Structure 1
Amino acid sequence: MTRGLHSRERVEEYTRLGWWSDETMDGLFRVRVAAAPDRLALVDPRNKDDLLGVPPRRLTWRELEAEVNRLAAVFLRHGLRAGDVLGVQLPNTVELVTVYLACWRLGIVVSPLPVQYREHEVTELGALAGFAAFVTVARSGDRRPADEVRTALPGLRTVLAYGEDLDAELAGTDPEEALRLVEAHAAAHPADPNDCVTICWTSGTESTPKGVPRTHYDWLAMSWATVDAPRLTGDDVLLNPFPMVNMAGINGMFLPWLRVGGVLVQHHPFDLSTFLAQITEERATYTVAPPALLSLLLARADLLARADISSLRLIGSGSAPLPPPMVKGWQDVHGIGIVNFFGSNEGIALLTDPHDVPDPEQRARYFPRYGVPGVTWTSRISRQVSVRLVDPDTGEEVTEPGRPGELRLKGPTVFAGYLKGERLPDPFDEQGYLRTGDVFVIDGERGEFLRYVDRAKDLIIRGGMNIAPAEIEGLLSAHPGVADVAVVGYPDEVLGERVCAVVVPKEGAEVTLDDLLGHLRAARIASYKLPERLETRADLPRNPVGKILKRELRSELA
């Protein structure tokens, strides 16, 4: 499944149109190294010592390439080859960037997992993707991730861990020998832009996450969107607080940096004082943040007073609707424009930037409706991505304002299909458009905008991390005191949403939040999925066919 993901017809069409080219990830990296080998390229989190017990580093493009070749040589010595799938569980550090680039130099597929994942998730996803090997750290705080992986996936070819033997292997690898070994393998296995380069994971609304394979073609087409909107150049300093495991971290920060150069400053885990200090110390010009955090900072002048944010030109935001007063406030008070992004792992969708939509309140509410006659947008994806709205009940295409419809997408940024997709419902409609599951209406004087209505899915987004309620509900339903359960999100001013379990106890049973948390921890799930609130009810609201009315629950909790 790692070769030739897109059909020949699609490849021929999109290359003829100039939307796809023969660019590859490694080719792009080589261009960056050649252009400015001795310029600063990559900066570790300033709190890396607290996180992993090693001091932070700063690498030039030349130094980064030397590290990439040494790590790639280690991969080859451990039997990894083009087409193998490598599980990766690392925080945002120099090492995570190095792993991506070393894999792409060899044609290895990267499957990144959030650092919060434990044995439960590692076992499930490792089996789905067929991990050949795994890279992680020996220690992270009081955890031993490498030991957890060995327990979860005993059949792996190898587990390589920073803080263990991997450090010695890298130190003992001769740079010239590594270069010869790696270049020989790369020459013998030239990359095809249609090869799979990553398998990311989307929670969706199902209990089992879905794998989203991506090629050079679609990742690099998407990267133009996140270059064009903030107008990035090689002079920019990008501060990345989003984990590089899915669309936000990879296409929001990593790939734009790789495309234009500049400096990538890593941040992990999110800590507000550290984040603000990095803006000041590194003179960051662009970063991304969830809307709830931007609202908090706008309201708390005392927090921002601790930092010098004068270097910031723009901030990207998304994952939840942007409050118009927040977007206006940042522009009026600080002179910083907010770019409004809407997308998914399956296909970046829409973006509204200050250049195309100067009015901050409009920018918060609306996204472009690409393809409207007489209306142009500056981002090149506006000329490549086709959008349509479809009435979810009748299947009719929606063309009039105010009528809700499911957003559907088609173009070079859309993925080819889910991992082992033959076992899943087809994500594409009869015209080849991706069914997003998100509901919009047409708006604006000329019908040039789309306005977000609601998530059709029940996904909870907590601090930028996706949580599938069905997974938690399935585990909680096995608790001896639970008769019925629904898991929903409720608003939080910092994280956007937190997790609430709404439980109907069995007759005579008493259920506490501590009981439920103990039950879930015993299943070894990631800590960020744990409910932080419990509500007990005599019954759950349902529609006539028995579906739980989660919108009702969310409204009551809010």
Structure 2
Amino acid sequence: MSFGEAEIAVEAMAAYFAHLGLAPGDCIVVQLPNLVESPLTLLAAWRAGLTVAAVPMLWRATELAKACDMLEPAALIGMSSCAGERPADLLRDVAATRLSIRFVMGFGADLPDGVSSLDDAILDGPPAGFGPRANSGPALITFTARAGEPVVPLFRDEKALLLQGAMTVMALSLDRHDVLLNPYPLAGPIGIALGLAPWLIGGTALALHDPFDHAVFVQQILTTGATVTALPGTVLDRLLDEGIVTDPQCALRHVGRVWSVPNLGERLSAEAPAERGGFDLYPLGDLACLIERDSRRLVRGTLPSGVFQMADQGETTTFLETALVAGTEPGAKTIAVRGPLVPKVRSLAATSGETADRNTQGFVETGMAGETRNDRLHVVRDPELVYHGGFTIAASELDGLYQAFPRFLDAACFVLPDPVMGDRIFAAVVPDPSMPVSLAALRDFLNERSVASYKLPDKLLIVRSIPRDTHGRILRDQILKQI
């Protein structure tokens, strides 16, 4: 789409939202894949003065219900079909049991009864006389997890979104000739930092990719004229091995690593033309993304410590500050951030609705433990958080899901590292001796409860007991010793 065509579609949807009676400040839940409908819907909602809660496509009824109960949205938006599923049907069913939800809307053919078509709203075009409406609340809500808290909302205002785009534009020196190839959904910080935010303020072109398919992604690199993209290190290794980055048809001038792997920067420097360089993109506990241009002096997978700022045309902009603060456990340190780029965090554990910040200095915890070495922050593994396929999951949530299976006397999750998925999820179980045990039965149980598929374990391992300390906390390293 051209910017002019996008403008017409955005105006038509914004006017439709207003026609339905959605008022400035109302929250709508948007569950859309990484297609053109996603950024158009976000822009239309903001033009109508609405707050968007962007949720992952893999969320099912369990996760959607939790988010709706927390936010009390006025509307839900989804797709008629995606990857063999019927997301709009699921949204309609969730809406049927929640009084705050007045409308369910969707894209695509064969929408279920009770779901209105946004395709029709775009085709009808914008009516005369509609004007943008202001929203004094947050612009975007995304979600993460913290130890003991399965769903933690992150509230981003317009300024934070624009600053995230400014960081990307300034760090990579982007202009209107650049094409951003973004394979990350706009429901998380990477998709915002790599695609949505720099596109909004940089006048670039935006190419979206969903769901991830290596052959299609390579085709997009070579046919869209993509100049910027970022991927996990393992995927970038494959692109380098296949000679894609060094192909004369490839226009990439900035190739990013999402949480770096060793030696990739050196490979890019050695194998790619001089005008092509790498950058590191760090999703700081899903709060925001920090972008650093490639340098051989950097230690891969570490964070800068202190104030992070950049200069452009004689003006210096401060984006955020990183630091180590006291953790919840005695002697533990956790990485925290503060600054205009950092969203507000509302903790489920907070009884007063205040932010999750426990510190008087305005720092917000990322959920990542850390330590300082050579003026860089090194991330230390937190056993109570699981990082699987781009999702942050509270280990306690998986424990509870597996323990609820009636054939188990006790259960807990544990993980092993995986070069592609991050963490591979396993279930350690103490079975009821009188009942049969199988992974398929556990998966069927979780599917019947409409739990997101990425929370299902890959393997089930029988143990004699689940080790715990004197406070009842699961000792996950001791589980591994039993196996």
> Which letter maps to 2:361?
Q
SS for the counterpart of 2:139 is strand
Please say if 1:368 is aligned against 2:317.
no
Counterpart contact for 1:90–1:136, Cα < 8 Å? yes
Equivalent position of 1:331 in the other structure: 269
Superposed displacement of residue 394, structure 1: 8.8
Residue number among 172, 178, 183 corresponding to 1:230 in the alignment: 172
For residues 447-484 of structure 1, the C-alpha deviation after alignment (integer angstroms, 9 at most, x for no partner) is xx313231336322222223333222212111122222
Check 1:243–1:423 CA distance in 2 against 1; reply closer, same or farther (3 A cut). same
Distance 2:106 2:339 in 1: 39
Counterpart contact for 2:409–2:431, Cα < 8 Å? yes
Counterpart contact for 1:292–1:495, Cα < 8 Å? no
Distance 1:393 1:207 in 2: 14
For residues 5-40 of structure 1, the C-alpha deviation after alignment (integer angstroms, 9 at most, x for no partner) is xxxxxxxxxxxxxxxxxxxxxxxxxxxxxxxxxxxx
What 5-or-longer segments of structure 2 have no aligned partner? none
Distance 2:481 2:380 in 1: 13
Check 1:142–1:453 CA distance in 2 against 1; reply closer, same or farther (3 A cut). closer
Counterpart contact for 2:139–2:157, Cα < 8 Å? yes
For residues 231-268 of structure 1, the C-alpha deviation after alignment (integer angstroms, 9 at most, x for no partner) is 22221110110111011112232101111011100111
Distance 1:556 1:250 in 2: 42
Residue number among 358, 381, 389 corresponding to 2:324 in the alignment: 389
Residue number among 43, 63, 75 corresponding to 2:17 in the alignment: 75
Equivalent position of 2:251 in the other structure: 311
Distance 1:455 1:248 in 2: 21
SS for the counterpart of 2:300 is helix
Alignment of 1:35-434 (within 5 A): 59-154=1-96, 155=99, 156-163=101-108, 164=111, 165-167=116-118, 169-170=120-121, 173-175=124-126, 177=127, 179-181=128-130, 183=131, 186=132, 189-192=133-136, 195-206=137-148, 208-298=150-240, 301-302=241-242, 304=244, 310-318=250-258, 320=259, 322-335=260-273, 336-344=276-284, 347-348=287-288, 350-354=290-294, 357-359=295-297, 362-371=298-307, 383-392=318-327, 405-418=333-346, 421=350, 422=352, 426-434=356-364
SS for the counterpart of 1:548 is coil
Distance 2:251 2:83 in 1: 33
Equivalent position of 1:453 in the other structure: 379
What 5-or-longer segments of structure 1 have no aligned partner? 1-58, 397-403
> Which letter maps to 1:160?
M
Counterpart contact for 1:86–1:131, Cα < 8 Å? yes
Counterpart contact for 1:501–1:533, Cα < 8 Å? yes
Superposed displacement of residue 114, structure 1: 1.1
Counterpart contact for 1:340–1:363, Cα < 8 Å? no
Q: Percent identity?
A: 27
Check 1:437–1:172 CA distance in 2 against 1; reply closer, same or farther (3 A cut). closer
For residues 211-245 of structure 1, the C-alpha deviation after alignment (integer angstroms, 9 at most, x for no partner) is 11111122222322222332222211101101110
Superposed displacement of residue 191, structure 1: 4.6
> Which letter maps to 1:208?
P
Distance 1:168 1:249 in 2: 24
Distance 1:363 1:313 in 2: 22
Structure whose residues are more often helix by fraction: 1
Residue number among 351, 354, 365 corresponding to 1:435 in the alignment: 365
Distance 1:411 1:485 in 2: 40
Check 1:119–1:277 CA distance in 2 against 1; reply closer, same or farther (3 A cut). same
Equivalent position of 1:505 in the other structure: 431
Superposed displacement of residue 556, structure 1: 9.2
> Which letter maps to 2:442?
L
Residue number among 396, 404, 408 corresponding to 1:470 in the alignment: 396
Counterpart contact for 1:438–1:457, Cα < 8 Å? no
TM-score, normalised by the number of residues in structure 2: 0.87
Check 1:455–1:527 CA distance in 2 against 1; reply closer, same or farther (3 A cut). same
Superposed displacement of residue 431, structure 1: 1.9
Counterpart contact for 2:425–2:459, Cα < 8 Å? yes
> Which letter maps to 2:267?
G
Distance 2:448 2:306 in 1: 48
Superposed displacement of residue 129, structure 1: 0.9
For residues 283-331 of structure 1, the C-alpha deviation after alignment (integer angstroms, 9 at most, x for no partner) is 2111121223224444xx348499767311122233x4x2212332233
Check 1:67–1:150 CA distance in 2 against 1; reply closer, same or farther (3 A cut). same
Check 1:226–1:502 CA distance in 2 against 1; reply closer, same or farther (3 A cut). farther
Check 1:119–1:349 CA distance in 2 against 1; reply closer, same or farther (3 A cut). closer
Aligned residues: 468
Check 1:456–1:498 CA distance in 2 against 1; reply closer, same or farther (3 A cut). closer
Distance 1:80 1:390 in 2: 42
Check 1:106–1:390 CA distance in 2 against 1; reply closer, same or farther (3 A cut). same
SS for the counterpart of 1:232 is coil
Check 1:363–1:353 CA distance in 2 against 1; reply closer, same or farther (3 A cut). farther
Alignment of 1:475-554 (within 5 A): 475-551=401-477
Check 1:209–1:366 CA distance in 2 against 1; reply closer, same or farther (3 A cut). closer
> Which letter maps to 1:547?
R
> Which letter maps to 2:120?
E
> Which letter maps to 1:511?
V
Counterpart contact for 1:485–1:501, Cα < 8 Å? yes
TM-score, normalised by the number of residues in structure 1: 0.76
Distance 1:477 1:390 in 2: 33
Distance 1:534 1:394 in 2: 30
Distance 2:134 2:353 in 1: 31
> Which letter maps to 2:303?
F
